Structure 1
């Protein structure tokens, strides 16, 4: 990272910046999970999730890129083998809000990968290469923790994002349906 940029674990007090970015990255999935029609309606739901521990959308699975003390980007990542338990815990928390809602988990990751679930850069900071830096940093963390590959999903409607992932060494190895949208599952060997 360059001067002025700091890579760190997210904290509960990062919610004001992290939650809107996370909701933007999750897009239709966030709306579906929260049972909401707009991103602003989703934010309070995800603020509660972000502050809590032990589930998929917790701050404990997020990293933040700060520039001069202000968060400018976030990434949500965890071992793929942990996805079923993390997802079940997230859905249980959401059911507490509305027990009548039928919520389901759609598998996103593979058990043998470190899964990059969501990534977002603040609108005023886009175009500076911060997403690439964050992906490289989380892949380095995953390798140091003993993981041999990283995985992620990219919506077929986002060819520019897919180009970035290819440039960073990810290759398509299949597809998944998520919230009614087709996504390419991409993986990268870690060395």
Structure 2
């Protein structure tokens, strides 16, 4: 069942964020090769409001009491505002010195992360989460939904293309090159 995330979901959400972004990018943001440091970082921010990793930006797929998948999205016009508390914390507490590129822009409802736990993959959960997110975006007045997909993840790209997303070009993000995809909602 798909539902809005709650603060109590933060531990499961943190695991899924790491799954979505990969250990290398998470380690870069946490400024530590220790996976536990990254998990604690994302759990902290998933439990709060007012940041890009907040539960308030997330829909989860829950089976009984278990969070099996999640999709995180927000208004691209709010990227700087939502990123600010996270970057302040990582710079002041963890010594992060990077400057992430803008991965989205105004006019785009941006899918930041999508992940389904390995035990639940292959059951159509990701597709259902994306569909629910597209409906949510349309309901709050957005016309374009965008995301970045890692060039090394053709399976994810195939899913997005199958659902109607179009490749808009390449986008750098913290040393990696991704493809920027968009879906245009009907007015």
Residue 181 of structure 1, CA deviation? 1.3
Given the alignment, which residue of 40, 65, 71 partners 2:61? 65
Q: Matches of residues 25-104 of structure 1 in structure 2 within 5 Å?
A: 25-27=20-22, 28-98=24-94, 100-104=95-99
Q: Match of 2:133? A: 138
Secondary structure at the aligned position of 1:160 is classed as helix
RMSD, aligned α-carbons: 1.3
Q: Say if 2:149 is the partner of 1:157.
A: no
Aligned structure 1 segments of 4 or more residues deviating by more than 2 angstroms: 38-41
Q: Give SS of 2:102's match.
A: coil
**1:115-130 mapped onto 2 (5 Å cutoff):** 115-130=110-125
Q: How far 1:179 sits from its partner (Å)?
A: 2.1
Residue 38 of structure 1: CA displacement? 4.1
| 2:9 corresponds to which of 14, 30, 37 | 14
1:53: Cα distance to partner? 1.8
CA contact (8 A) 1:152 1:187 kept: yes
Q: 2:77 touches 2:108 (CA, 8 Å); kept in 1?
A: yes
Give the structure 2 partner of residue 186 of structure 1: 181
Alpha-carbon offset, residue 91 of structure 1: 0.3
Calculate the TM-score normalised by the size of structure 2: 0.93
Structure 2: any 5+ residue segments left out of the alignment?
Answer: none
Give structure 1 stretches of 5+ with no counterpart.
Answer: 1-5
Q: How many pairs align?
A: 185
